[in-house]
Structure 1
Amino acid sequence: MAQTTITTTTGEEATRVTAAELLINSPDPSSPENAINESQFPEPLWKAAIAATRFGYGLRPGELQIIAQDPKGWLVRQINDTSTPDEIQGLSKSRDHLKNFMKAQNEGREGLFKFRESARQNAMWEIGQHELAAFNSPNPFRERLVRFFVNQFNLSGQDEMMYPMTVQFEREIIRPYLNRTYYHLLLAAYQHPAMLIYHNNNRSIAPTSPTGDKIKVEMNESMAREILERHTMGPQGEYTEMDIKGLTAMLTGWTVGGLGSRNPGGFMFKNSWHDRNQKMFMKRIFPNAGMMEFEAAMDMVARTPRTAWTLATNMAKEFVSDSPTDTLITHMVRGFLNASGNIMGMAHAMIESEEAWTPVPGKVKTPQHLVISTYKALDRNPQNGRDLVRQQTQLGQPPYQPHMPTGWPKQSAHWVTPDLYADRIEWLTQIAAEDRLNAEPVDQGIAVLGPKLRPATARHIAIAPSKLDSTALLLCSPEFQRV
């Protein structure tokens, strides 16, 4: 790896020094807030390091100078790139998965056993492909946004039906709708079989419907409650239990087609299951209009400032800070509303804000972020996606399997409990022992952290007794752990 050189000026003399020499001989900044102003490194290098580590999955050696040519443009380009990664092209479809499941049910216990085993193995392989896509992608910011929305609509895969559908949902809904309005994403999400089955809405029949009049049934409020509490207005939203009941009634008949239907394994609206009465929702009366009732309700909810504020708060907590300021959130809400509810309008506003570029670390890396950034920092390539899945699971974040219905926590404190922190330090030390790079330790640190590497840390790395020790110090440093 070539050494980075920096031009420093004293009076009328300009001197070229290596970045390692400059960093080791620099005083520590008086405070994190003043790090850029007091640094002798040029601001573009700072911005490049922040862009890659805060919004992406970290740096490989050699990438810092490339991103430094236009850090913000590097992020904007990713927002606009809607291409699908090669690693996840041609994978299974949820409709086929469900048809196979229904056929296996008809075959009895033996057929169901074979289906379970096959589905589990296929899901594990596909999840590995998704991790490879995140690792290899030239659009790491976009990949992070994809994972943010997957977590936002959490469908934790725990059984043979849901496990494969978690990644199918990402491929079929999140990725195609990422550059659409939030309304379009919401509507597509609630028509996806994974969402309907996860919340048992595929069995929700109105007692007053033609079908419900013949059998004793109850409507299921799970999906309506999730929509309002997590996906749109948030737990502090101005809605009532009556609003949840109204939305639940609108969703009756939204189900999944059986083998004998016109759309087996896909979305179906059964009018014979639908509540035919008028509904009250958000102080408005919705007359009986079939599917259009819920569509109109989502159009209204998706446009409310409360939904924009909740979504912006969650996105800012994901990328910038555990405690984002009202100024940042307001800026992101304005970007969302000015873009007519387009999701990327909010993301674009986030990276345009001053707070997005502060040198003060605001987050601790999740295990997924840590594993991918560590492999990149050591310029390593996983043998296959299963390597990445195994490492993340070891560190407490099995991909697509959150332990709680609200998805993976956004607060950094969750990932630095004593047990989890000890696990990550042990893993980092082990992987440092496998490092085969020939780069000088401080040069390696600057290559993957840029000027974010503190002078004090650089000095410790420089005098470490061995290459293993210096690499372990780098990976375990606060600069590498936090973004």
Structure 2
Amino acid sequence: RSQGLAEFEEALDRLARAPATAHFISRKLAVYWMSDSPPPALVERMVQTFAHSDGDIAATLRTLFTAPEFARAADRKFKDPMRYVVSSVRLAYDGRVILNAGPMINWLARMGEPLYGHQTPDGYPMTEADWASPGQMETRFEVARAIGSGSAGLFRTEGPQPMQRPAFPQLANALSYEAMAQTLGPATRQALAQAASPQEWNTLLLSSPEFMNR
């Protein structure tokens, strides 16, 4: 005899407590926060925490964040399309309310990560190999140019009295750039110094190797 909702909840509990679930979630968390190839020993410790805490994500993350391997990991993780688009817009227009998110949604679709578009529950991939193909990078350069030149249409509204879009962003003067400037390599600094216009400077920064990583 079916027990209705109770039977459904029991099935979820069984899935959540399965060893495969603990390993899948632990490795997903490590890949997202640490690196594309997290140390297996660290993932195993996260698995044990997940199992012993009955699936407590906070406890599992605590095991990750306090691990010596995490502290020694290189501070480099390639941005997936969502992070790249959002971080670009935030750097360019921090404090402004985007009036037209259509361009951002289109960029995500072109780069293979459409909003709510993944058909299976495993989510979009999170490794550099999945998002750094030549076609992907070409689209990112186009996004950088559109945002850097102020022509992305993020502030263009429909109607008889469309709101005026702001001028192109002045990224060199942004407070957030001051902290980022310390992370730029010599090649990027040289390219920025040779920019022929503020728009080109913006484009070069948003398409730089350093900005591709979080």
1:469/1:355 Cα in 2 relative to 1: closer, same or farther (>3 Å)?
farther
More strand by share: 1
Distance in 1 between residues matched to 2:121 and 2:8, nearest whole Å = 23
- The equivalent residue for 1:395 is 111
- The equivalent residue for 1:453 is 184
Question: Which one has a bigger Cα radius of gyration?
Answer: 1
Distance in 2 between residues matched to 1:436 and 1:290, nearest whole Å = 56
1:480/1:331 Cα in 2 relative to 1: closer, same or farther (>3 Å)?
farther
RMSD of aligned residue pairs (Cα, Å): 3.0
Distance in 2 between residues matched to 1:305 and 1:463, nearest whole Å = 55
Shift of 1:476: 0.9
Distance in 1 between residues matched to 2:19 and 2:120, nearest whole Å = 27
**1:365 is aligned to 2:75:** no
Report the residue type matching 1:446 in the other structure: E
How many aligned positions are there?
194
Distance in 2 between residues matched to 1:455 and 1:290, nearest whole Å = 63
Distance in 2 between residues matched to 1:371 and 1:300, nearest whole Å = 38
1:59-208 correspondence runs (5 A)? none
Give the TM-score normalised by the residue count of structure 2: 0.73
**1:467 is aligned to 2:181:** no
Shift of 1:296: 4.0
1:287-302 correspondence runs (5 A)? 292=6, 295-302=9-16
Distance in 1 between residues matched to 2:67 and 2:184, nearest whole Å = 23
Distance in 2 between residues matched to 1:470 and 1:413, nearest whole Å = 28
1:428/1:377 Cα in 2 relative to 1: closer, same or farther (>3 Å)?
same
Distance in 2 between residues matched to 1:389 and 1:457, nearest whole Å = 28
- The equivalent residue for 2:170 is 437
Give the TM-score normalised by the residue count of structure 1: 0.36
Q: Percent identity?
A: 29
| Candidates 93, 96, 112, aligned match of 1:379 | 93
Residue 426 of structure 1 aligns to a residue whose secondary structure is helix
Q: Which deviations, in whole Å up to 9, do the C-alpha atoms of 1:40-85 show, x marking residues without a partner?
A: xxxxxxxxxxxxxxxxxxxxxxxxxxxxxxxxxxxxxxxxxxxxxx
Shift of 1:473: 1.7
Shift of 1:450: 5.6
Shift of 1:413: 1.8
- The equivalent residue for 2:207 is 476
Distance in 2 between residues matched to 1:451 and 1:349, nearest whole Å = 30
Distance in 2 between residues matched to 1:370 and 1:388, nearest whole Å = 10
Distance in 1 between residues matched to 2:45 and 2:182, nearest whole Å = 28
Shift of 1:340: 3.4
1:320/1:387 Cα in 2 relative to 1: closer, same or farther (>3 Å)?
same
Q: Which deviations, in whole Å up to 9, do the C-alpha atoms of 1:108-143 show, x marking residues without a partner?
A: xxxxxxxxxxxxxxxxxxxxxxxxxxxxxxxxxxxx
Distance in 1 between residues matched to 2:103 and 2:116, nearest whole Å = 15
Contact 2:92–2:171 under 8 Å retained in 1: no
1:464/1:291 Cα in 2 relative to 1: closer, same or farther (>3 Å)?
closer
